[in-house]
Amino acid sequence: MNDSLPHTTGGATNRAANLPANQPANDTANDTADSALEASRRAAFRPVVLLCGAFAVLSAAMIAFLIVDVATGTHLDAAIWIRCSLVLASAAVLLVFAIAAARGSRSAWIRVRVISPIILLAIIVIVSIPGFLPDWVRVEQAVCGLLLLPVAILVNLPRMGAHVPRKA
């Protein structure tokens, strides 16, 4: 017997696949299929995660701008602070759920499916109210809405559900 090959007693292995003897070689095929499904899922959710990330970055930049603006002596209405803070919080939550969905979490995908259209609708309503917010805030909110629109569409496509299958 060749000493370079593992022995079949004790820590027995399947020499063809270098796997334990009780694990069939076709598990390697399953692992390959799983990694292909994972790559497909990540590719499908990549635009969703990127758009949610851009939404979060834009919202954080707005808060940073508000802080600098107030530090230079400008008085800002409380409604601006509240609205921009809520948008940043919703962007952070949505980004966390989008990343979890990209990793295969079905519950996170469902949350993104439900939350993204609700946030989008809230943004549309706020932007459409004349005089509620200054125009520069309304423009920023509209850009956030434009970033969120494809997210709400993409995650609700039937093909996205195939990437986060139900557990058996």
What is the three-state SS of the chain? CCCCCCCCCCCCEECCCCEECCCCCHHHHHHHHHHHHHHHHHHHHHHHHHHHHHHHHHHHHHHHHHHHHHHCCCCCCHHHHHHHHHHHHHHHHHHHHHHHHHCCCHHHHHHHHHHHHHHHHHHHHHHHCCCCCCHHHHHHHHHHHHHHHHHHHHCCCHHHHCCCCCCC
pLDDT given at position 168:
45
Domain region containing 84: 19-161
* Residue 11, in any domain of the structure: no
Model pLDDT, residue 14: 47
Domain count of the chain? 1
In a domain, 109, yes or no: yes
pLDDT means per 10 residues in the chain (168 residues)?
Answer: 49 50 54 70 87 97 94 89 94 95 87 94 93 90 95 87 66
Residue 127 resides in a domain: yes
pLDDT at 120: 95
Please indicate, yes or no, if residue 157 is contained in any of the structural domains.
yes
CATH code of residue 80: 1.20.120
pTM for the model: 0.74
Domain for residue 4, yes or no?
A: no
**Is there a domain that residue 27 lies in?**
yes
